[in-house]
Structure 1
């Protein structure tokens, strides 16, 4: 084949390939690898993933960029949208309805019921879920625990004994960043540990101000502050990826963070159960504090609908669910996979979530439980309490109750926690 013909073939193939502009916030090592896995699958379908990654933990920057692009008439073809924010965008008619794809692929039967409901707005499927994260995860260093004659803590009394032993040995017991969303992520796991899934959801669903004066909320706040003594001092403000690298170096014995951290640790070359292991945060063994990664197809002029629907089918398929989530640290959103294909951490997450709504608790910080206004207000109060020891727990309870009172009669669109 001559050089001219080869060139013509390349031009024809490149021009035939359709491009999807994908906006998301996956920028860490493992997140990039996971995104590349999705992009590679699209490439096999003749679709080019044009990356628009926006740095920033918890998607804070990405949401701002998305709003700006939509307002300026430059909306991406695909955007990472999660939780109740899907309602807001769906109500405005900005999301492509994927009902035909969902019906053809049997999503309602394949997905966990909570997840199938999560991606529906006004009876229409408007997003494709790609991964289920468990946030109430405690990581620990197995080798270090063996050396110190310790077992991973299953309750808070055990945690205190383990932490004290580690500290006496000159080891920092608990890794943590003072970045606001990371502090609030730690708090919501403590809140779940104290209240259980049912009351946790009641706090967020009913928005009754008096519920926030419950002694269990007070104890969660007190524990958040008391845990500071087991952290490096002063508690540094750093990205979660940096915390992961520090933990991988052995700078701390334990770390409480969502299971995206597992994906990062794997990407750094660590082995599950040998160089790190994970269990549920003390007091939450039977519960699953969850966040679900989802992609919404922006409606636009419907010029990319075929490619968007192809992407949706691909992302929800069993092979890609297993491949992607193995890298990302999350687990498949499908209930028809074989849990034996997951590692020990993932298997516990998937099996716990499969027990149903009674054990499932939607994350506040990671946009599963509330609208943006409520999420931001809660994070601000928890961060202030964590960084200022002069603020009393009762004062935070009062402020949280005031926030609920202000939002109690808000009739804006929001997703009811399940």
Structure 2
């Protein structure tokens, strides 16, 4: 239990409320978070966007329409993979952007069957279908970082991926705003999709080891440690009180958008990374979305498979 440390250091009040459910069991804190990643980002090559005359899109339809301009200059519109989790990241961003945070909660977290089988869900699959063919022929089995590299070197225009991708750009010496663009997936209902990394401690009957566990927890929650770690990784501090002066504009945008999303109850965990539902349910989403993307399955059939799979997993 880290309850004494949480109470002594005021950690509970320093963290986004939505995080707390993942850090405790039966009112016992056992884990400390080092960061928060935003999952619903678009990463774009600025030189490619400028050459193609593309402005930052304000809707998914605009984003998809920009593909023709990218094709015209010989650039792959979207760097993708056929890996189901990468496709699911794309799908769940569409799910919340097109239908709003309340619908996302009903469908992806509450697993409400009415929402899962709704016209809104069919519309989301139809939108995902429009992205078919906007990738290059070599997308089979591609690692996410390899897809990021295609954007970095100008072979692809965009990638939809969490902000761990930013670490790849930074490692190449690229600068946000000058060499690459970062903007949230487009929506009329602003939202924030998150994942984060934590360190937990096991129960061990050894006073010296327990002291070490406490020391690790306090180091992880140290504001300076959170600052330095996240400057490298591309994410933002888990803590809400870490100064953002030294961070780049992408991180500052992520931080300010998180504050707004907390206020507006529009911050939700990612399906892909286990922050929305249990793996038995998120696995169904991943399987259906992955199959839909690489076949000619219809949106209606995809929704039926999704509902049947979720009900079987219940």
Considering the TM-score relative to the shorter chain, is it more than 0.5?
yes
Correspondence for 1:402 among 295, 299, 308? 308
Question: Which range moves more in the overlay, 235-244 or 252-261?
Answer: 235-244
Query: 3-state SS of the aligned residue for 1:164?
Result: helix
Contact 1:352 1:359 in 2 (8 A): no
1:382 and 2:289 are equivalent in the alignment: yes
Query: 3-state SS of the aligned residue for 1:139?
Result: strand
Corresponding position of 2:252: 347
Matches of 1:376 and 1:161, distance apart in 2:
30
5 Å-filtered alignment, 1:118-197, equals 118-197=22-101
Normalization by structure 1: what TM-score?
A: 0.71
Contact 1:210 1:401 in 2 (8 A): no
Report 1 or 2 for greater relative contact order, CA contacts < 8 Å, sequence distance ≥ 6. 2
1:217 and 2:124 are equivalent in the alignment: no
Corresponding position of 1:35: none
Contact 1:107 1:116 in 2 (8 A): no
CA RMSD of aligned residues (A): 1.7
Which runs of no fewer than 5 residues in structure 2 stay unpaired?
none
Cα offsets for 1:312-344 (capped at 9, x unmatched): 110111101111111111101111122333211
Cα offsets for 1:25-82 (capped at 9, x unmatched): xxxxxxxxxxxxxxxxxxxxxxxxxxxxxxxxxxxxxxxxxxxxxxxxxxxxxxxxxx
Corresponding position of 1:257: 161
Corresponding position of 1:336: 241
Correspondence for 2:137 among 221, 233, 236? 233
Corresponding position of 1:369: 276
Query: 3-state SS of the aligned residue for 2:308?
Result: helix
Matches of 1:279 and 1:328, distance apart in 2:
18
Matches of 2:74 and 2:153, distance apart in 1:
15
Return the offset for 1:302. Answer: 4.2
Contact 2:100 2:189 in 1 (8 A): no
Return the offset for 1:366. Answer: 0.7
Corresponding position of 1:21: none
Contact 2:108 2:277 in 1 (8 A): yes
Return the offset for 1:401. Answer: 1.3
Matches of 2:266 and 2:70, distance apart in 1:
32
Cα offsets for 1:183-240 (capped at 9, x unmatched): 1111111111122111101113332222212122112111212112221125332111
Corresponding position of 1:316: 221
Return the offset for 1:284. Answer: 6.4
Matches of 1:151 and 1:237, distance apart in 2:
30
Cα offsets for 1:113-141 (capped at 9, x unmatched): 11233312211111101111111100111
Contact 1:194 1:217 in 2 (8 A): no
* Misfit runs of 4+, over 6 Å: none
Matches of 1:151 and 1:172, distance apart in 2:
17
Matches of 1:395 and 1:195, distance apart in 2:
20
Matches of 1:119 and 1:160, distance apart in 2:
38
Return the offset for 1:407. Answer: 4.2
Normalization by structure 2: what TM-score?
A: 0.94
**Matched positions, count:** 311
